[in-house]
Amino acid sequence: MKVAERQEAQRIATELAAIARSGQVLAGTITERRTRCSNPNCRCMADPPEPHGPYYQWTRKIRQKTVGRWMSREQRDDYQPWIDNHRRIKELLARLEEIGEAALAADPRWRR
Ligand SMILES: [Zn+2]
């Protein structure tokens, strides 16, 4: 493995460790939703419409099934960074995988 890649791997390890130490990692996504009810006299049906909400929904896929929970705005503000951390871990892991593949491709023992 090249020196540059080894150094990059060490930087990735440092960042991964910091995220892991925080313990703030959450899979899934948080979506902001606004809804309309079925009451024709409601402001959500007015012109212009004023939908209900915003509501915040955390969703995550567990074994092909999507599970979701409604959360408060305060919960959304608290947990969005956890979700960002999860995405960052996946990015860092993908980069490590690229480094591994490059090292394998550069192995001089491949037969021609
Ligand atoms: Zn309504």
Bond from prior residue into 48 cis (ω within 30 degrees of 0): yes
Q: Which parts of the chain have pLDDT scores under 50?
A: none
With a pLDDT cut of 90, the percent of the chain lying above it is 93
pLDDT of residue 1: 76
pLDDT tens digits, 97-109: 999 999 999 999 9
Residues with C-beta atoms within 5 A of ion ligand 1: 37, 42, 44
Whole-number Å distance, alpha carbon 111 to ligand 1 midpoint, is 69
DSSP state of 108: T
Q: How far is the CA of 51 from the centre of ligand 1 (A)?
A: 7
Q: What is the DSSP string of 48-100?
A: S---EEEEEEEEEEETTEEEEEEE-HHHHHHHHHHHHHHHHHHHHHHHHHHHH
